[in-house]
């Protein structure tokens, strides 16, 4: 059994690598070599990566790709994506192209409100607490002035502070429910700093009037149901096969697929996973917090009491509409945006978007991805396109060299691809 290690974070990088190699590897030299292979030869750049987190041993690569031809609100975008799943970028590119001849994507912001809460316990008279809150409310703003000064100058800041009695949900439980406008910043540090000051103010002021308040914690919420963006595509229904329309049969199939995801949570989770293929890839490429986005989006998908589809579809007046509404709390300044060279580049490729523009772009990536998945699912099935994109992975796994890969890619152009079929074809080729 592995022995506990003391003071690991104080070890040098070399010592940490030695420790991992000695304890977990049959071949320590190979382990060390793998870890070093992924170091960046530019020491300054490597140091930036080392310092992102504690105990960094090496870098963990994901492919960084772009999906071109996205027309959003009449402007063309090439969207950077960081993801390992073989078919996602190709699917995004296909959906972008498909909709570029059908009016492109439209996107709009429905809200940008961020939320944070101070959670506390109070056993006394709720009316006295309310009176105290109303008296000291201006003090919360005054005590956070140094934190909010710059944000206010730019037009953001604290937008509301509310006392909420939650004792019906949990005995003695109250909260300060606070909202914020953080403009182009994701705002986590700003919000948490404000909240921690609110907690101090609340404790100080309640002590003065002998109210016994016990603050439990102060933290932002990743459930941002009023920081929401809508993205939409629409086009004429017609069987004339023109590049600006889609057939009634195809539109009906998409609508049925969405209806199934609304009715059936087992399907909704996978349906939304497809949406998140697009969303997460751009969130990651632009240095945003994909765990926060995932948590918030799935909570939103269950907001009506049942986990459901994030996308919607209908036909109205011979027009097909397909749209998404998602909460996306994003930043285009702060965080990794000025530190990680690829994040900087991703934002450059997107023409330095504001947070609102990035919300629109990312919602479009999610909608496009869902459309591409549904289009395959209701027509050819998902495996045809998926396995085509996965073929190079299978060939690499099977150890094919460049020449063999070329020949087998041609061989599988019109054939069904599977693990077994690839192994057999490679064997035949080598005979
Ligand atoms: C695979 O990563 C995503 C899909 O399963 C999404 C879907 O089923 O809608 C294809």
Please check whether residues 349 and 268 belong to one and the same domain: yes
Q: Where are the beta strands (DSSP E) in 264-317?
A: 311-316
Q: Determine contact, residues 310/326, Cβ cutoff 8 Å.
A: yes
> How many angstroms separate the alpha carbon of residue 368 from the centre of ligand 1?
12
Please check whether residues 123 and 193 belong to one and the same domain: yes
Q: Indicate whether 1 belongs to any domain.
A: no
Is the shortest distance between the CB of 269 and ligand 1 below 6 Å? no
Query: CA 369 to CA 376: how far, in whole Å?
Result: 11
The reply to whether 411 belongs to the active site is no
Atom of ligand 1 nearest to the CA of 374: 9
Q: Indicate whether 56 belongs to any domain.
A: no
Mean pLDDT calculated for residue range 280-292: 98
What local confidence, expressed as pLDDT, does residue 386 receive? 77
Query: CA 148 to CA 142: how far, in whole Å?
Result: 10
Q: pLDDT tens digit string along 6-59?
A: 999 999 999 999 999 999 999 999 999 999 999 999 999 999 999 999 999 999
Q: What is the CATH number of the domain that holds 268?
A: 3.90.770.10
Please check whether residues 374 and 252 belong to one and the same domain: yes
Please check whether residues 410 and 289 belong to one and the same domain: no
The reply to whether 85 belongs to the active site is yes
Q: Indicate whether 59 belongs to any domain.
A: no
Total number of domains in the chain: 4
Q: Determine contact, residues 182/157, Cβ cutoff 8 Å.
A: no
Mapped onto helix, strand or coil, the DSSP state of residue 39 is coil
Mean pLDDT calculated for residue range 181-197: 97
Query: Which residues touch 416 (CB under 8 Å, ≥6 apart)?
Result: 387
Please check whether residues 236 and 349 belong to one and the same domain: yes
> How many angstroms separate the alpha carbon of residue 188 from the centre of ligand 1?
31
Q: Determine contact, residues 160/179, Cβ cutoff 8 Å.
A: yes
Please check whether residues 274 and 210 belong to one and the same domain: no
Please check whether residues 207 and 270 belong to one and the same domain: no
Please check whether residues 289 and 329 belong to one and the same domain: yes
Q: Determine contact, residues 293/329, Cβ cutoff 8 Å.
A: yes
Is the shortest distance between the CB of 267 and ligand 1 below 6 Å? no
For 302, which DSSP code?
T
Query: CA 242 to CA 245: how far, in whole Å?
Result: 6
Closest of 429, 359, 398, 403 to residue 72, by C-alpha: 359
Work out the pLDDT band at 384, boundaries 50, 70, 90: confident
**DSSP-assigned states of every residue in 40-93:** -SSHHHHHHHHTTSTT--S-----EEEEEEEEETTEEEEEEEE---TTHHHHHH
Q: Indicate whether 58 belongs to any domain.
A: no
Q: For all residues of the chain together, what is the average pLDDT?
A: 96
Closest residue to atom 2 of ligand 1, CA basis: 274
120-151 per-residue burial string, b: 16 or more CB within 10 A, e: under 16: bebeeeeeebeebbeebeeebbebbeebbeeb
Mean pLDDT calculated for residue range 316-322: 98
CA dihedral 268, 270, 275, 281 (to 10 degrees): 150
Closest of 84, 85, 83, 91 to residue 369, by C-alpha: 91
Q: Indicate whether 283 belongs to any domain.
A: yes
Lowest mean pLDDT among 167-176, 197-206, 247-256, 421-430: 421-430
194-216 per-residue burial string, b: 16 or more CB within 10 A, e: under 16: bbbbbbebbeebbeeeebebebe
Question: Which of 86, 257, 270 has the most ligand 1 atoms within 8 A of CB, as the residue to mutate?
Answer: 270
Query: CA 302 to CA 255: how far, in whole Å?
Result: 20
Q: Indicate whether 409 belongs to any domain.
A: yes
Question: Which of 277, 366, 368, 371 has the most ligand 1 atoms within 8 A of CB, as the residue to mutate?
Answer: 277
Q: What angle, rounded to 10 degrees, do the helices at 188-208 and 126-143 form? A: 130
Q: Which two tokens stand for residue 330?
A: 């994003």
pTM for the full predicted model: 0.93
Please check whether residues 103 and 169 belong to one and the same domain: no
Q: Indicate whether 55 belongs to any domain.
A: no
Q: Indicate whether 41 belongs to any domain.
A: yes
What local confidence, expressed as pLDDT, does residue 62 receive? 96
Please check whether residues 285 and 189 belong to one and the same domain: no
What local confidence, expressed as pLDDT, does residue 338 receive? 86
Q: What is the CATH number of the domain that holds 142?
A: 3.30.70.420
Closest of 187, 148, 147, 115 to residue 334, by C-alpha: 187
Please check whether residues 102 and 170 belong to one and the same domain: no
Q: Where are the beta strands (DSSP E) in 264-348?
A: 311-316, 319-327
For 337, which DSSP code?
G
Residue 356 domain boundaries: 64-110+230-379
Residue 63, pLDDT above cutoff 90: yes
Please check whether residues 181 and 261 belong to one and the same domain: no
């Amino acid at each position: 059994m592995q022995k506990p290690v003391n003071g690991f974070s104080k070890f040098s990088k070399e010592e940490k690598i030695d420790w991992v190699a000695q304890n977990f590897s049959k071949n320590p030299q190979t382990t060390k070599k793998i870890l070093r292979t992924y170091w960046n030869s530019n020491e300054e750049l490597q140091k930036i990566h080392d310092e992102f987190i504690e105990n960094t041993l090496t870098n963990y690569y994901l492919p960084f790709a772009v999906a071109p031809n996205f027309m959003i609100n009449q402007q063309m975008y090439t969207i950077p994506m960081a993801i390992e799943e073989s078919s996602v970028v190709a699917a995004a590119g296909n959906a972008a192209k498909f909709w570029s001849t059908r009016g492109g994507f439209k996107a709009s912001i429905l809200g940008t409100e961020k939320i944070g809460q101070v959670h506390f316990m109070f056993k006394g008279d709720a009316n006295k607490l309310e009176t105290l809150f109303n008296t000291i409310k201006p003090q919360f703003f005054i005590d956070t002035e140094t934190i909010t000064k710059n944000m206010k100058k730019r037009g953001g800041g604290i937008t509301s502070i509310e006392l909420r009695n939650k004792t019906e949900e949990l005995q003695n439980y109250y909260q300060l429910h606070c909202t914020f406008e953080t403009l182009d910043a994701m705002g986590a540090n700003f919000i948490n700093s404000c909240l921690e000051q609110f907690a101090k103010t609340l404790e100080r002021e309640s002590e003065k009037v002998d109210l016994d308040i016990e603050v439990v914690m102060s933290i932002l919420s990743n459930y941002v149901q009023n920081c929401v963006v809508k993205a939409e595509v629409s086009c004429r229904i017609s069987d004339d096969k023109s590049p600006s329309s889609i057939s009634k049969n195809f539109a009906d199939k998409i609508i049925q697929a969405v209806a199934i995801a609304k009715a059936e949570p087992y399907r909704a989770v996978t349906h939304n996973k497809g949406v998140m293929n697009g969303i997460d890839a751009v969130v990651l490429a632009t240095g945003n917090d994909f765990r926060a986005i995932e948590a918030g989006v799935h909570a939103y998908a269950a907001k009506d009491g049942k986990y459901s589809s994030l996308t919607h579809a209908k036909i109205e007046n011979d027009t097909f509409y397909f749209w998404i509404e998602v909460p996306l709390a994003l930043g285009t300044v702060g965080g990794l945006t000025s530190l990680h060279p690829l994040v900087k580049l991703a934002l450059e490729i997107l023409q330095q978007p504001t947070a609102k523009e990035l919300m629109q772009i990312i919602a479009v990536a999610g909608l496009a991805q869902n459309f591409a998945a549904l289009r395959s699912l209701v027509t050819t099935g998902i495996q045809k396109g998926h396995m085509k994109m996965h073929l190079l992975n299978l060939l690499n796994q099977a150890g094919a060299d460049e020449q063999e890969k070329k020949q087998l890619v041609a061989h599988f152009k019109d054939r069904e691809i599977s693990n077994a079929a690839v192994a057999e074809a490679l064997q035949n080729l080598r005979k």
